Amino acid sequence: MGATDGESLGPYNLLSTLGAGGFGEVHLALDPDGRTVAVKILHPHVAADATALTRLAREVETMRRVEGAHVAEVLDASMENPRPYIVTRYVQGRPLSAVVSGDGPVEGEDLVRLALGLAEALVAIHAAGVVHRDLKPANVILTDGEPVVIDFGIASALDSASVTVSGAVLGTPGYLPPEVLEGADAGPAADLFSFGATLAHAATGRHPYGTGPASAVGYRVVHHEPDLEGVPGWLGPVLQECMRRDPAERPSAGETLARLEAEAPAVHPAVPRPRRPFAAPAGQRPPAVQSPSAGRSPADREGTADPGGVAARGPGGVAGAPATEKTGVHALTTREWRPGRRPTPGKPSTEEALRHRRAVVHRRWVVGTGLLVSLAAATARSPLPEVSLLLLAGYGSVVVVDGGVALFARKDRVRAVVDLAGGVGAVVLWAVLGTFFSTLTLALALGTVVFVLVAILLSS
């Protein structure tokens, strides 16, 4: 692949390597607007398979319809040789597999949030007509206590003879359902089995079908019952239904989510569940620009798994906006990532929060420096009147310049008013302090304030 830090790939600037899996190497990157994304560059043996790339180009158009609070959305892709890549949302957090191995089983409210979040992710994925097929602890990222599912849909598009012979494995033992191990097609029911196995591992800290050679684990999946000892009572029956051997007997993602929403609050009523809406179903979204493979029969949505479980992990964003047409044999659409596109109801966007924070810092600066300058000028009023006036004049000049810039350049009247009020307030406070307090009292007060400020600076 040969990708190095600091290199550009299309419009993306690669920053660092995050890891590698069976189909590609993932890099932390910056998009043209300077926001972090994850770029998965396909391995050379995958890039050399024209059939696999054609299928992937077709599947990417479907994968991009998947949006939700608990999925790492596909934002962009390019199938042009020699280095095809896929861009996804970059999620900050730890893989569920690392959380369980490092911290032990997930319990209490955290387990409720994990179960509901994974179920919501599958509802969003299946609503777009996508099957993940490789849902497992390594493909679930926990960020702020909420799960985000990564790496959905890629394996199904790359399930070709040349790719699998070149080294990609067909899944993760213990998390692939019996029908896939026996060679049958993987439908949405396969994801429900993997969902149950993933939650069983999270709740118990054990792999539900044990460890050992892949053949031995696979045999247990087909012929034995999963190890669910230690799973909480509200969750155990749901996992048993999801991990039934016959895929026809498993519930759908929507049924599982409804069941969990009914059962989980009864056990953990204090868990807040802010419901964030998913994207509209695929039929209600604007059609994406089709790849050259449009018109062929749809590709199967099963495929080999990415054993590395590598995907977007780090500071994040959300899904994109309108598409722009690309040129080339494998034309794909590009959606710009706009974090403020679908904000959570009642929650300010990132830009609004940043503007509010800047306004708060500015007010604190004006008030704090005004108090300090007034106290210092009042202290020097009797013995050093020139210094007193110089301090007031300097402070007044600063706030007047800042207020002028805010009013005429930034059209920010609030900031200008704050600056004006700060300047007037400093003069009034200087006059009051100089009139009612002695120079010695003011000097002691000034020394105390300076001492406190220095202590705060040193401690921070």
Same-domain pairing of 395 and 424: yes
Summarize the annotated binding site for ATP as residue ranges. 40
Task: Tell me whether residue 2 is in a domain.
Answer: no
- Residues 180-205, mean pLDDT to the nearest whole number: 93
What integer pLDDT is reported at residue 410 of this predicted model? 73
Same-domain pairing of 366 and 422: yes
Contact 152, 130 (CB under 8 A): yes
Summarize the annotated binding site as residue ranges. 40
What's the rounded Cα separation, in Å, for the pair 180 and 38?
29
- Residues 152-180, mean pLDDT to the nearest whole number: 64
Which structural domain range is residue 437 located in? 350-459
What's the rounded Cα separation, in Å, for the pair 426 and 392?
8
Task: Tell me whether residue 3 is in a domain.
Answer: no
pLDDT in tens, 338-385: 444 444 445 555 567 777 888 888 888 888 888 888 889 888 888 888
Contact 307, 21 (CB under 8 A): yes
Mean pLDDT of the chain: 77
Same-domain pairing of 333 and 361: no
Question: Of 49, 134, 151, 419, which one is the catalytic site residue?
Answer: 134
For 333, list phi and psi in degrees, rounded to 5.
Answer: -90, 160
Same-domain pairing of 306 and 423: no
Task: Tell me whether residue 343 is in a domain.
Answer: no
Same-domain pairing of 288 and 378: no
pLDDT at position 202 over 80: yes
Contact 166, 45 (CB under 8 A): yes
Same-domain pairing of 137 and 161: yes
Q: Which residues contact 1 (CB under 8 A, 6 or more apart)?
A: 25, 41, 43, 44, 83
What's the rounded Cα separation, in Å, for the pair 120 and 68?
8
What integer pLDDT is reported at residue 199 of this predicted model? 97
pLDDT in tens, 317-330: 333 333 333 333 23
Residue 5 CB neighbours (<10 A): 12
Task: Tell me whether residue 384 is in a domain.
Answer: yes
What integer pLDDT is reported at residue 282 of this predicted model? 39
What integer pLDDT is reported at residue 121 of this predicted model? 95
Confidence of residue 104 (pLDDT cuts 50, 70, 90): very high
Same-domain pairing of 20 and 119: yes
Same-domain pairing of 332 and 403: no
Same-domain pairing of 256 and 399: no
Task: Tell me whether residue 237 is in a domain.
Answer: yes
- The H helix count followed by the E strand count for the chain is 15, 11
pLDDT in tens, 443-452: 898 888 888 8
pLDDT at position 206 over 80: yes
* Residue 283 C-alpha from the chain's centroid: 26
What integer pLDDT is reported at residue 157 of this predicted model? 55
What integer pLDDT is reported at residue 165 of this predicted model? 44
Same-domain pairing of 178 and 108: yes
What domain count does the chain have? 2
What integer pLDDT is reported at residue 309 of this predicted model? 39
Task: Tell me whether residue 159 is in a domain.
Answer: yes
What integer pLDDT is reported at residue 118 of this predicted model? 96
pLDDT in tens, 208-228: 999 999 999 999 999 999 999
Same-domain pairing of 21 and 114: yes
pLDDT in tens, 72-87: 989 888 887 678 888 9
The more confidently predicted of residues 20 and 107 is 107
pLDDT in tens, 105-131: 999 999 999 999 999 999 999 998 888
What integer pLDDT is reported at residue 454 of this predicted model? 86
Q: Which among 171, 301, 173, 193 is positioned nearest to 256, based on CA atoms?
A: 193
Confidence of residue 285 (pLDDT cuts 50, 70, 90): very low
Least confident of 65-74, 385-394, 408-417: 408-417
Confidence of residue 171 (pLDDT cuts 50, 70, 90): low
pLDDT in tens, 229-271: 999 999 999 999 999 999 999 999 999 999 999 888 654 444 4
Same-domain pairing of 319 and 418: no
Q: What CATH number does the domain containing 184 carry? A: 1.10.510.10
Contact 348, 340 (CB under 8 A): no
Buried b (16+ CB within 10 A) or exposed e, 73-94: bbbbbbbbeebbbbbbbbbebe
> Which of 337, 371, 387 is at the close of a domain?
337
> Which of 307, 337, 367 is at the close of a domain?
337
pLDDT at position 169 over 60: no
Concerning whether 31 is annotated as a catalytic residue, the answer is: no
Confidence of residue 453 (pLDDT cuts 50, 70, 90): confident
> Which of 280, 308, 337 is at the close of a domain?
337
